[in-house]
Amino acid sequence: MAPSNIVPRKPMTTMTEIDALLTENRKFPPPDEFRRNAHVKDTSLYKAAEENSEAFWESQANELEWFEKWKTVCEWNPPHVKWFTGGKINVSVNCVDRHVKTARRNKAALIWEGEPGDRRTLTYWDLYVEVQKCANMLKKLGVKRGDRVAIYMPLIPEVAIAMLACTRIGAAHSVVFGGFSPESLRDRINDAECRVLITADGGYRRGGVIPLKRNADRAIESCPTIEHVVVVQRRPGAFGDEAFASMTEGRDHWWHRLMQDASPVCQPEQMDAEDVLYILYTSGTTGKPKGIVHTTGGYLVGVTTTTKFVFDLKDDDVFWCTADVGWVTGHSYLVYGPLANGATCVMYEGAPDWPEKDRFWQICERHGVTILYTAPTAIRAFMKWGDQWPAKHDLSRLRLLGSVGEPINPEAWMWYQEKIGGNRCPIVDTWWQTETGAIVISPLPGVTETKPGSATTPLPGFSAALIDASGKEIKVGGGLLALTKPWPSMLRTIWGDDQRYVDTYFTKWEGRPDLYFPGDGAKRDDDGYYWILGRVDDVLNVAGHRIGTMEVESALVEHPAVAEAAVVGRTHELKGQALAAFVTVREGFEPSDDLGQELREFVAEKIGAIAKPDDVMFAADLPKTRSGKIMRRLLRDIAEGRALGDTTTLADPNVVAALKDQLVHKVFTFTSMFEAREE
């Protein structure tokens, strides 16, 4: 069992961090030309949305195609909400059918590059045909409205086709990142009781092949609800059927064979606005990931609106969101938001440094990317690799840059602006979460004066505040971030556990079930700008990926050598944060480099390589309070190499001294953010 007696985390909002950000006073107004041509040129939209946010969202909803309009815009019974009730809509119709009726019919919807260099372009018409065929294929396999379909795929066009096909027939998808282990896949499939799994024989990552079907086979050995598995052949002939995909008669089917026979006409289901659109699992503060539930109408309104305004999306843009579709960024800004806006999207399967460190810039140049949306962890890696890589390519078509997933340090922000944006492109630092569905705090690039490191202010239609532990609002200074009004794309519940939804997000401030607590600390400056400081709970953000320390602890204590484990975060130059594991071993086991390595591999096996601790530290005992709680604060100090904080509440003050002496092995420190993904 994982230790369950965890003391609450101290917020990461240390004075040094706040001080560093307070000294950041550079400001960048939108370039004149950008402002002149932008969708939003002035603050009137903010004012209108503030006066009546429901009217604002209603006007945005009117931009979409509905079978039937809603009766009520918003029903808010804190902490539960419904948007556009009575409305009937289909997401695939809005992302695809709508465009084939216009001049966008033959426009490129997806421009895809595989890691080995294979390329495909799908027009909106192509998507229209493929999505309907895939929808019919799923129907033939017995998938019905209200069912769940698991998707475990590389980043290839079929993943978008499969997602849209689910929406066409009213099945909810649950996309599981291809880097997750068979066990993680299994748990997610079982939690959502998926009937069908769509996967591929393999996917490329840094020249290697991830054996997805093999992993899937291991997962579904104990997934009683799975009736069928559909397998995309990633690269016909490349892997050999046998090595990567042994097919089980009757259960497993090749995608291309089923698609060949599928009819290209499939009537869209008329979904209620509040029907489940998808489930996406994310890490929380317990060992069990949460199935975040998004519904149809409100989610689509939220992502369509924010894509248009934040990225100032125009018909001739080429939009590249580098996220994998296994994360929420891939759902909202690689698939649904851009396609609902009829945009041309770039999709790239592989690593940024394959075969060379200029792959991203090569892609930008080759496809004339105009808007690039990526993560600070990648930007920091690019900085480290050197200016020569972007300098080799013509990046002059870029006009807007975006950042997402973790705080961006001002130095990386400035580098991004200069070396990638040629000092010409505004940067939108977008704060949001799996739970919010869409971007919440971000500049509008034609309006907002940006400051490096600040996500600036809530977008029109969203409201935030900083609140202290006692519930008092903080106008200027540090505090806990709260979202103070409901918004259409917010999560509706946690799959199968509504109480966890209530407890996690709406009980932070007593008697205020209307305040959503995202789990982040932030600072607000004199201009009302937000500076996100990071998570204040037991969730870490490693290379932009959310990992719960309890998940890793639960995995570690399953190893026969481990008696007790505590996992904390420490600062990491590239990844933002890294995982440091403190482990005590059972009788009969000896700490060693080999055991440390074995434990890292064990976590990768259990959860996925992204959760592998960077450091494994063995200790004879862990520092505990008199009531037996592990003092994580002290462990963090040790992991960071800092002076130790207050030790007076320790049951046995000698443990810390002993711990420092007995850090038998601080073994493995890895610096590449991509290391985790390549295995």
Helix (H, G, I), strand (E, B) or coil at 277: strand
Nearest CA among 351, 345, 292 for reference residue 317: 345
Q: Is 322 in the site for ligand PRX (CB under 6 A)?
A: no
Nearest CA among 50, 101, 90 for reference residue 68: 90
Minimal distance in Å, beta carbon 414 to ligand PRX?
A: 16
- Closer residue to ligand PRX (CB): 177 or 244: 177
Q: Is 430 in the site for ligand PRX (CB under 6 A)?
A: yes
109 and 318 Cβ atoms separated by less than 8 Å:
no
**Binding ligand PRX by CB under 6 A: which of 201, 406, 538, 551?**
406
Q: Is 546 in the site for ligand PRX (CB under 6 A)?
A: yes
- Closer residue to ligand PRX (CB): 171 or 175: 175
Q: Is 433 in the site for ligand PRX (CB under 6 A)?
A: yes
Q: Is 329 in the site for ligand PRX (CB under 6 A)?
A: yes
**Residue 594: is it exposed, middle or buried by C-beta count within 10 angstroms (0-12/13-18/19+)?**
exposed
Q: Is 456 in the site for ligand PRX (CB under 6 A)?
A: no
**Interface region with ligand PRX, contact rule CB under 6 A, candidates 52-60, 509-517, 529-537, 548-556:** 529-537
Minimal distance in Å, beta carbon 522 to ligand PRX?
A: 9
CA distance readout (Å), 523 to 12, 17, 29, 447, 582 = 12, 10, 21, 22, 31
Minimal distance in Å, beta carbon 310 to ligand PRX?
A: 11
| HEC string for 533-565 | EEECCCEEEECCEEEEHHHHHHHHHCCCCEEEE
Minimal distance in Å, beta carbon 530 to ligand PRX?
A: 9
Minimal distance in Å, beta carbon 408 to ligand PRX?
A: 7
Q: Is 455 in the site for ligand PRX (CB under 6 A)?
A: yes
Minimal distance in Å, beta carbon 129 to ligand PRX?
A: 32
Output the DSSP codes for 137-155: HHHHTT--TT-EEEEE--S
**Binding ligand PRX by CB under 6 A: which of 535, 559, 570, 572?**
535
Q: Is 432 in the site for ligand PRX (CB under 6 A)?
A: yes
CA distance readout (Å), 264 to 102, 130, 168, 197 = 19, 7, 13, 21
Residue nearest to ligand PRX (CB): 434
- Closer residue to ligand PRX (CB): 166 or 543: 543
Q: Is 328 in the site for ligand PRX (CB under 6 A)?
A: yes
Q: Is 282 in the site for ligand PRX (CB under 6 A)?
A: yes
Q: Is 520 in the site for ligand PRX (CB under 6 A)?
A: yes
User: In angstroms, rounded to a whole number, what is the distance separating the alpha carbons of residues 292 and 278?
Assistant: 8
Element of type H or E holding 658 = helix 654-661
Output the DSSP codes for 44-72: HHHHHHHH-HHHHHHHHHTTS--SB--SE
Number of residues in contact with ligand PRX under rule CB under 6 A: 22
CA distance readout (Å), 36 to 32, 48, 447, 625 = 6, 20, 10, 60
**Interface region with ligand PRX, contact rule CB under 6 A, candidates 223-231, 483-491, 492-500, 527-535:** 527-535
User: In angstroms, rounded to a whole number, what is the distance separating the alpha carbons of residues 275 and 115?
Assistant: 36
Minimal distance in Å, beta carbon 405 to ligand PRX?
A: 5
Residue 277 tokens, joined: 């659109």
**Interface region with ligand PRX, contact rule CB under 6 A, candidates 192-200, 303-311, 534-542, 653-661:** 534-542
Question: C-alpha dihedral over 461, 465, 469, 471, to 10 degrees?
Answer: -80
- Closer residue to ligand PRX (CB): 92 or 504: 504
Minimal distance in Å, beta carbon 349 to ligand PRX?
A: 20
Q: Is 168 in the site for ligand PRX (CB under 6 A)?
A: no
Q: Is 434 in the site for ligand PRX (CB under 6 A)?
A: yes
In sequence order, what are the residues at sequence separation of 6 or more whose Cβ sits closer than 8 angstroms to the Cβ of residue 467?
473, 474, 479, 480, 482, 509, 515
Q: Is 404 in the site for ligand PRX (CB under 6 A)?
A: yes
Q: Provide the angle, in degrees to the nearest 10, between the axes of the packed helices 632-640 and 654-661.
A: 30
**Binding ligand PRX by CB under 6 A: which of 405, 446, 461, 488?**
405
**Binding ligand PRX by CB under 6 A: which of 518, 569, 591, 623?**
518
Phi first, then psi: what are they for 341, rounded to 5°? -90, 5
Sheet holding 477-483, edge to edge: 464-467, 477-483, 520-524, 530-535
| Contact footprint for ligand PRX (CB under 6 A) | 282, 328-329, 404-407, 429-434, 455, 518-520, 532, 534-535, 541, 546
